[in-house]
Each structure stands twice: as structure tokens, then as C-alpha cells.
Amino acid sequence: MSQGSLLANKMSDQRSMKAEVSGTPKTGSEALLRDTLKRCSPETLEAALKYRASGDVTLVPVIVLGIVERFLDPEVISKLRSGDDTVRFMEDLGLDSLTMIEAIMMVEESLGVSIKNEELLNLRSVGDLKVFIQEKITGFKSGESNEFYTIEQVASVMPQQDPFLFLEQANLSDRAAKGRYTISGQEDFLQGHFKGNPVFPASIMLEALGQLAVFSLLKNPPSEVGSSIDMSEVYFTGVDGVRCHRVCKPGDSLDLSIRLKRVRAPLAVFSGQITVGGEKAVVAEEITLAFKPMEPSTNGNGSEASALRDVSVSPQSTNGSH
């Protein structure tokens, strides 16, 4: 760096600071938008300019993903570009929550929306963000929005507890839920399943799906039920159409998903699926739970009876089948 350029640089900087302080418009001019997006791809800027002019919401995903991409390490950009909406910001793209704030600020400035902290917490995946921003702009709720729960929040609701809780986070939407359990290798039963070859039992995988279904019933009772559900009175009754496609071992993260197929008190029927790194591991066509709607006078802190514990010994268990 020459002396000359050092000097010029400092000079211009003093001035630019002044200009920024005194003259920044609150709603973005085109120049401000160009400056905000100056490190994004030309396509991103182009889409944002078009959006400003037309308000065409189909441009939103291009803008949002272009902004996220600008914060990524080069080696993970292809993951974002894969088009997979399940790609997660933190786990898959290596973004921390500070970077999420940076990206969100840029989205806010570019699209003229404002996002609350508690909303930010629910934006875990590319799909979450796309849907969320679209809803923000159109004001229309698609019903796909997610609520994220940490392991502490999950444990505070569930009848199952450590060491028999196989759900470490959950994402609830209207009639579906996603969750996750990472096989630590410290689970006691792995010592005997199998000798010298720890394989996560298929019965426990069904248990994990069942637990996610229980969590969604308790936390987000389907509208047909019309009341909350007694946490001490949810039981497993059956599972149909189970297929295991993949052996799961310590270190694998089980991505659990369930969807409510139908509900008619006292039964609720879900479909379920587990994937590991996008690879199909278990499919269950129907998981049926029996539940009891809460009586208006009943105290919810009733018995400690554990629901679902019998899943691992149920006749439908596929324990050891693979």
C-alpha cells in the first residue's frame, strides 16, 4: 500500500462516514440497496431491484438464498444451491446465530420486512426461511410455519424421560412434526445390541417416531380434538407397514418426521419416516396412538405412568430384523 493510497483512503473514509451519518434514507433507495447487496451475486441484486419495482414474490427465494450464500464458506455453497429445502443453516451450512442475524438484517433491508427475535429462532432450514419470508410479504399464513423446541422444552412436556427419551429437538407445524435424535453410542442397550457391534434397534427407532408423535399431540393437539390431551394417558396401540432400509450406528443423526393422517378420539394415526443424512432408514406407514382428551376438571400432573414404553416389546417390533 503506497503512502498516497493510504492517504486517499483515509480521506475518503472520513467523508463517507459523514455522508452515512447525515444522509442515510430510512427506506431504501436503489443506491442503498446496491450498497447493501454489494457482496451478493449479480443475480441476487437484479432480483432485489426487480422485486422493488414489481413486488413479485416469486423473486423472494432467489434474493433470500443469494443473501445467505454471501455469508457461506465456498465449500458449502453447493449444498445451498442443491435446491434441498431441508438443508439446515447451522448444522449443514456452518452458520452460527450471529451470522443468521447478519443475514436477516440484510434480508430486512432488502425486502423491507422486519423479523422478531422469537421468529428468528424458528428459522432452522432453507425451507423455513423461504416460507417465512414469503408469508411476511404476502401476509398469508400457509400453515407450514414451524415452531422449534429444544431438548429442555421437549423433556418438560414428555412423559418419557432420560434414559428413555429419544427426541432431542422438535419442529412442529400444523399437522406434522420433525425431530432429531443423535445416537451417542453411550446408550446402555447398545452393549448387547449387538455384542461387539452396536446397532441402534429398529424398535427404538419406532419408539423415537412414536415419541415425536406424542410430543406433537401434547404440544399441538389437532383441532378435531378440541381440547388438550392428558399427558399420562397416551399409549401406543399399533404400527403397520414398517420397512427398515439402513443400519443405524453410533454417530448417526436420525432425522425423524411424522405426519398426522387421521384422528378420531381416542385414536390418532400418523405416518412416519427416519432418514440419516438424507438416506432413508425407516418407513412406517401407520403409527397409531390412543389418547384421552383432557377433562376440563382434570389436573394434568397426574400419574407418572409412562406412555409408549411397551413399543419395544410390541408384537410389531422389528427388533433385530436387519
Determine whether 118 is exposed, middle or buried from the number of CB atoms within 10 Å of its CB (0-12, 13-18, 19+): exposed
Q: Under a CB-based contact definition with an 8 Å cutoff, are residues 85 and 106 in contact? A: no
Note the Cα 153 to chain centre separation in Å: 15
Phi-psi region of 283 (alpha: psi -120 to 50; beta: other; left: phi over 0): beta
Q: Is residue 73 a contact residue for another protein (CB under 8 A)?
A: yes
Q: Under a CB-based contact definition with an 8 Å cutoff, are residues 229 and 294 in contact? A: yes
HEC string for 195-212? CCCCCCCHHHHHHHHHHH
Min separation Cβ 110 and another protein, Å: 13
Q: Is residue 101 a contact residue for another protein (CB under 8 A)?
A: yes
Options 46, 92, 102, 174; binder of another protein; rule CB under 8 A:
102
Stretch that binds another protein, among 13-21, 148-156, 215-223, 305-313 (CB under 8 A): 13-21
Nearer to another protein, 71 or 148 (CB): 71
Site for another protein in 28-47 (CB under 8 A): 39
Cα separation, 295 vs 320, in Å, equals: 40
- Amino acid, res. 115: I
Stretch that binds another protein, among 83-91, 101-109, 222-230, 282-290 (CB under 8 A): 101-109
Residue 193 bears catalytic tag: yes
Options 109, 207, 230, 233; binder of another protein; rule CB under 8 A:
109
Stretch that binds another protein, among 85-93, 98-106, 189-197, 274-282 (CB under 8 A): 98-106
What 3-state class would DSSP assign to 193?
coil
Residues that are catalytic: 193
Question: In the complex, which residues of this chain contact another protein (CB under 8 A)?
Answer: 1, 3, 6-7, 9-11, 13-17, 20-21, 24, 26, 39, 71, 73, 96, 98-99, 101-102, 105, 109, 114
